[in-house]
Amino acid sequence: MALLRQYWKHAQWNYLRKFSASQIPEMPACNHEPCPYKGESYDTVKATTTLHTAPCQVPFYKKPLLIHEGFGQWLWDHEGKRYLDMFAGVATVSVGHSHPKIISAVLQQMNRLGHTTPIYMQPRLQEYVKKLVSKMPGDLSVVYLVNSGSEATELAFLMARLYTGAHEIVSLKNCYHGGSHTAAASTALSTWRYPVNSPSGHIHVTNPDVYHGPWGGSRCRDSPIAPGNRKCQCTGGTCFASDKYFEQIKDVFKFSLPNNGRVAAFIAESIQGVGGTIQFPRSYLSRVYEFIRYYGGVCIADEVQTGFGRTGEYYWGFQGHGVEPDIVTMGKGIGNGFPMGAVVTRPAIANTLKQALHFNTFGGNPIACSVGSAVLDIIEEEQLQENAFHVGTHLLERLGALQLYHPTVIGDVRGKGLMIGVELVCNPETREPLPPSQMIELFEEIKDMGVLVGKGGLHANVLRIKPPLCVTKADADFTVEVINKAIQNLKHRYSYNEESVYCNGV
């Protein structure tokens, strides 16, 4: 039996390391036939976009894609070319493009009632909040519906400050919590910050990054893949990295806060998304939560990208850290692309908003509630959380095997479920990021072979893989094949080899 298990493990590892010899990998089949594109010409759409949309919203790619149709995990451009969507509109399309059940829910509700506000009761709101609360642990039982993750962050901060009577919001460096004024103040990525005065009351503490930070190793994070070539300094049942990063936040309280040390809130993503799919050391969040509460603050879990089953093993990312937050913010996947967000909290915290009038015109819109309700049903009926776990683990293991083939380019593979990051470097020892010119070339080539991924991290050198939860193992294999070919071509162009590294091309 032991010999059989060893044989099976060896065969499985050989499969994970197996890559196609073909020049361009074969895309998995799709039985959906898109409609022909009959809109304005590509040049007209591009010119209108350039002239009349905000110039800060720069499209991906040298020749931006004109996306015409979507179905499941697939997208088609105006010329009918098919793409595997492994970014899902920035981790937003949770159950698949144009899902029939969502289309049906929207049409039925639009035929009955398109809009009313919370000044009236309506059944779709009641149905939806009951379903959403049933997914929450403990006393997280009050829902305030908004229109985006940024709005949810703003509202969560307001609630925290009213409830605690304190002002300071503590967040991690490298985090992203939204683009609105106050949400952006908590964000700690220089690439997302404008040279204007930010609202007061925001403190950024050391990010517990076990790959880039001073502490961390192979057993420090909850991922099937170890962080690069870093050795773990953990001993016994304690995490050395968690201890050291926790000391950093204690140090901030000691020197940067008033004598009473009171704060309003601590906010953290369960896995940092925009920051490059950064995972924290085991036990870190649970220790920080306890510490924050000792100083009178509440704990906010940002589930905008990690919620609704994306991490696979748990419905909410915070459950993987063994914590129960006081406030949870949601967005993106909550509506499968429909503009929705939510704040879920305890009754005592929610009651603080009664001190004045607070109103959201579109929050709880009956169409939005119908969409949100359909999303919850689909995740359960189609077992998409389980699929995220199985396909995500398979994809992570295959990417980990790919790292062994390209150790001078792939510095780290990390993530949980279908929340995955692949960090590209030009020196695995110093972890220096792949130069922007090379990153752009590789990014373009992945697209040209039919896969759409995102970019993240401070230097935009992390491939962000966050597809709809309906993707298959065949889709995962195709994605790995495409990334492999793109890296092979990059190494050939820049004479990379496994004995030397080249950080040129900046």
**pLDDT tens readout for residues 93-113:** 999 999 999 999 999 999 999
> Does the structure show a pLDDT above 70 at 4?
no
50: Cβ contacts below 8 Å, ≥ 6 apart? none
**φ, ψ for residue 398, nearest 5 deg:** -70, -40
**For 178-224, how does the pLDDT look when each residue is reduced to its tens digit (9 = 90+)?**
999 999 999 999 999 999 998 999 999 999 999 999 998 878 899 98
> What residue has token string 């049906």?
104
Q: Give the pLDDT confidence score for residue 148 in this predicted structure.
A: 97
Q: Give the pLDDT confidence score for residue 435 in this predicted structure.
A: 96
Average pLDDT score, the chain: 92
CA distances from 327 to 187, 267, 373 (A): 18, 9, 21
Per-residue pLDDT band at 9 (split at 50, 70, 90): very low
Distance, first Cα to last Cα, the chain: 54
Per-residue pLDDT band at 268 (split at 50, 70, 90): very high
> Does the structure show a pLDDT above 80 at 260?
no
Choice between 198 and 345, residue whose per-residue pLDDT is larger: 345
What mean pLDDT do residues 315-328 have? 98
CA atoms within 13 A on the CB side of 377: 13
CB 336 within 8 A of CB 102: yes
Q: Residue 159 is encoded by which pair of tokens? A: 């609630």
Beta bridge partners of 75: 70, 83
Least confident of 116-125, 150-159, 319-328, 468-477: 116-125
What mean pLDDT do residues 434-438 have? 96
What mean pLDDT do residues 269-293 have? 96
Least confident of 214-223, 275-284, 313-322: 214-223
**φ, ψ for residue 400, nearest 5 deg:** -65, -40
**For 350-403, how does the pLDDT look when each residue is reduced to its tens digit (9 = 90+)?**
999 999 999 999 999 999 999 999 999 999 999 999 999 999 999 999 999 999
Q: How far is the C-alpha of 106 from the C-alpha of 103, rounded, in Å? A: 5
Hey, what amino acid is at 368?
A
Q: Give the pLDDT confidence score for residue 504 in this predicted structure.
A: 56
**For 120-153, how does the pLDDT look when each residue is reduced to its tens digit (9 = 90+)?**
999 999 999 999 999 999 999 999 999 999 999 9
Choice between 231 and 163, residue whose per-residue pLDDT is larger: 163
What mean pLDDT do residues 426-433 have? 93
> What residue has token string 């990063």?
245
Nearest to 433 by CA among 406, 462, 405: 462
Per-residue pLDDT band at 24 (split at 50, 70, 90): confident
Least confident of 49-63, 215-229, 256-270, 386-400: 215-229
Nearest to 189 by CA among 274, 84, 73: 274
Per-residue pLDDT band at 495 (split at 50, 70, 90): confident
> Does the structure show a pLDDT above 90 at 2?
no
Q: Give the pLDDT confidence score for residue 49 in this predicted structure.
A: 92
Q: Please, what is the Cα angle at 148 between 142 and 153, to 5 degrees?
A: 65
Q: Give the pLDDT confidence score for residue 20 in this predicted structure.
A: 60
Choice between 370 and 260, residue whose per-residue pLDDT is larger: 370
> Does the structure show a pLDDT above 80 at 277?
yes
Which domains can be identified in the chain, with CATH numbers? 39-95+384-494 (3.90.1150.10), 101-381 (3.40.640.10)
Per-residue pLDDT band at 16 (split at 50, 70, 90): low
CA atoms within 13 A on the CB side of 499: 0
Q: Residue 236 is encoded by which pair of tokens? A: 């016994």
Hey, what amino acid is at 141?
S
Q: Give the pLDDT confidence score for residue 5 in this predicted structure.
A: 43
Hey, what amino acid is at 389?
F
